Amino acid sequence: MSGPMRWISAHCFPSGLQKRYEAWKYDNPVWWAGFGGLSRMIGRLLPVSGPPIVVMSLPRSGSSWMGSTTALSPNALYLREPLTRTKDKPPSVLPLRGIPLPEEYDQAAKLAFAGLPMFPRNICVNPWEWKLRRRTRGRVLVKEVNPYALEWLCKEYRPFVVLLVRHPAGVALSYRKFGWWDSAEGDWEHPDRWRIIGDYQGECVRFALSFLEDYGDFHAVRYEDLCADPLRAYAKVIRRMGLEWTADMEQLLATRISERDPRAMIRSWDESMTQEELDELRSGYEPHGLPWYTDEADWRTTT
């Protein structure tokens, strides 16, 4: 909202009306997308470019960083987890084999891949990207955190996929920090907890990779490689996506890196795990035969 409009809203509207307007703005951050059928007609008249792009990973694998960085491209139309962040959402990593497709997933995907930003501000995080004058040259960029959804998304919408992976120790400790691994069989008090979460991660990523190897139109990248040399790694990924990599993007990313060095995140888990815990995690992850984190050094603490 511009300065004058903010002043008018604050001083000329009753407080109840102002609150309702602010709530509407949160639910409809893109002005033209808040009018139902009319918004859908606008979307059809001004179709987005294609194909769409999906950044997929497990939760806590660095996908928010990748999403916000790739969204800097002038032809990216970014949506953050439109499936996962639906109002009555299922669990983030929901196995979609042998169960009906959740209606929330289906409806959110139809809107997202049609380039209709009819989502609240926590999903449509950069409303300015969705200006009508940018639509026809823009490509939908969806960041999601359910690898089990890839097969369905690829068959239905044919996106280019970036599969982002992170060392299982980093993911596991992040889950513990946020209290996300609290199911009956995976409780942190469970004596086999590290093997269980290693197996869980390995199974999810293996499911995605096995499908993508047949699908073909994808690029895999390690979180640690992004952290080690962000400018080079992001330039490569963004160009592989078919998005524009500009000097302004490079400068902005360089500024962010100078403020917080991502290299510190490469082995951020190192001092928080014992060698025994790391060995148990490996025993669950390694049998899935994934091509990452196969060196002995990847599974040795330095403390």
pLDDT digits (tens, 9 = 90+) for 72-126: 999 999 999 999 887 565 556 766 766 778 888 899 999 999 999 999 999 999 9
Beta bridge partners of 160: 53
How many Å is the maximal CA-CA distance in the chain? 66
Cis, peptide link before residue 59, omega less than 30° from 0:
no
pLDDT (average), residues 22-43: 89
Of 93 and 127, the structure prediction assigns the larger pLDDT to 127
d(CA 26, CA 54): 24
- Half-sphere exposure for 180 (CA within 13 Å, toward CB): 14
pLDDT (tens digit per residue) in 147-159 = 999 999 999 999 9
Of 168 and 3, the structure prediction assigns the larger pLDDT to 168
d(CA 198, CA 110): 33
Cβ of 39: how many Cβ atoms within 10 Å?
18
pLDDT (tens digit per residue) in 234-269 = 999 999 999 999 999 999 999 999 888 899 999 999
- Would you say the C-alpha torsion 80, 82, 86, 91 has a positive or negative sign? negative
* pLDDT for residue 191: 75
pLDDT (average), residues 225-239: 96
pLDDT (tens digit per residue) in 9-28 = 555 656 667 777 677 788 88
Of the chain, the percentage scoring pLDDT greater than 90 comes to 73
Dihedral angle, C-alpha 19, 22, 27, 30, nearest 10 °: 160
Q: DSSP letter string over 17-29? A: HHHHHHHHHHH--
Cis, peptide link before residue 51, omega less than 30° from 0:
yes
Residues 6 or more apart in contact with residue 282 via CB below 8 angstroms: 168, 198, 299
Dihedral angle, C-alpha 279, 284, 287, 288, nearest 10 °: -130
* pLDDT for residue 22: 77
pLDDT (tens digit per residue) in 182-214 = 543 456 667 788 999 999 999 999 999 999 999
**Domain with residues 18-190+211-267, CATH architecture:** 3-Layer(aba) Sandwich (3.40)
Pairing of strands 139-144, 76-80: parallel
Domain range summary for the chain, segments of one domain joined by +: 18-190+211-267
Question: Mean pLDDT in the chain?
Answer: 89
pLDDT at 47 over 90: yes
What SS3 state is found at 140?
strand
